[in-house]
Amino acid sequence: MLEFAILGLLHESPMHGYELRKQLTAKLGAFRAAISYGSLYPTLRRLQSAGLIAEGGEPATRATNEEVPLLSGRRGRVVYKITAEGKERFQELLGSAGPETYDSEAGFGVHFAFFASTDRATRLRILEGRRRRVEERREGMREFLSRAAERLDAYTLELQRHGLEACEREVRWLEELIAHERSGKDPKITSQPSSDLPRRSPLKE
């Protein structure tokens, strides 16, 4: 999960940990809260020893040569870049769509965040899988509400009602996205100038 997200970001441009966390938090902010350093740094370590990323990249925004901000003393900032194996792994993850993709908000959110680099078939599989899960959840709540409503206190009832509504809204949202994908006006390519990697760009408009 974090692995996927980190590879995705480093695929766009080299970065150090702090920046990585900010971008992660911004990009995935819609579906999960802030990423903790307690998960970020160990994951970086794991990825590094797996050979998927490496130290020593030049951060993208190195306009002039600024002396490498005087990290004279001890801990300097460590810039990570993705390796060839890392890119391979990222492509592999882009095409995957297991249960972990649908189940957690986080898993789905990460995949969605990289939809611009995902092929249409996979996008559809993921959207439909997610819809299925949310529908199941919704049905569970509906049944619970209809069977036990009178035995519940007002707050539990309200919580349930609110959850149900959220599910219904998400299903509607997913439905729109799915319809859009299907009736497939295709990704018009508006080239993305952001990085050294050409970024695939999304659908119409």
Partner DNA sequence: CGTCGATGTATCGGCGCGATACATCAAACA
Partner DNA sequence: TGTTTGATGTATCGCGCCGATACATCGACG
Q: Supply the minimum distance, in Å, between the C-beta of residue 155 and DNA.
A: 21
Q: Which does 38 bind (CB under 5 to 8 A by kind): a copy of itself, DNA, none?
A: DNA
Give the span between the Cα atoms of 111 and 122, in whole angstroms.
10
Instruction: Give the long-range contacts of residues 57-60, CB within 8 A, separation 24 or more.
Output: 57/14, 57/15, 57/81, 58/14, 59/13, 59/14, 59/15, 59/16, 59/19, 60/13, 60/14, 60/15, 60/195, 60/196
Q: Which does 87 bind (CB under 5 to 8 A by kind): a copy of itself, DNA, none?
A: none
Q: Which does 179 bind (CB under 5 to 8 A by kind): DNA, a copy of itself, none?
A: none
Q: Which does 137 bind (CB under 5 to 8 A by kind): a copy of itself, DNA, none?
A: a copy of itself
CA nearest to 50, candidates 86, 7, 97, 9? 86
Dihedral sign computed on CA atoms, order 176, 178, 181, 185: negative
List residues near DNA by CB under 7 A.
1-3, 16-19, 32-46, 69-79, 98-100, 103-104
Q: Does 196 bind a copy of itself (CB under 8 A)?
A: no
CA distance to 62, 63, 70, 71, 84, per residue, from 67 (Å) = 10, 12, 7, 9, 28
Q: Which does 100 bind (CB under 5 to 8 A by kind): a copy of itself, DNA, none?
A: DNA
Q: Does 104 bind a copy of itself (CB under 8 A)?
A: yes
- Stretch of 44-52, 78-86, 87-95, 149-157 lying at the interface with a copy of itself (CB under 8 A): 149-157
Q: Which is nearer to DNA, 71 or 197 (CB)?
A: 71
Structure tokens of 76?
Answer: 């300097």
| Helix or strand holding residue 41 (H, E) | helix 37-49
Give the span between the Cα atoms of 92 and 90, in whole angstroms.
5
Q: Does 60 bind a copy of itself (CB under 8 A)?
A: no
The residues of the shown chain that bind a copy of itself, judged by CB under 8 A, are: 26-27, 29-31, 33, 103-104, 109, 112-113, 115-116, 137, 140-141, 144, 148, 150-156, 158-160, 162-164, 166, 169, 173, 177, 186-190, 192, 194, 199, 201-203, 205
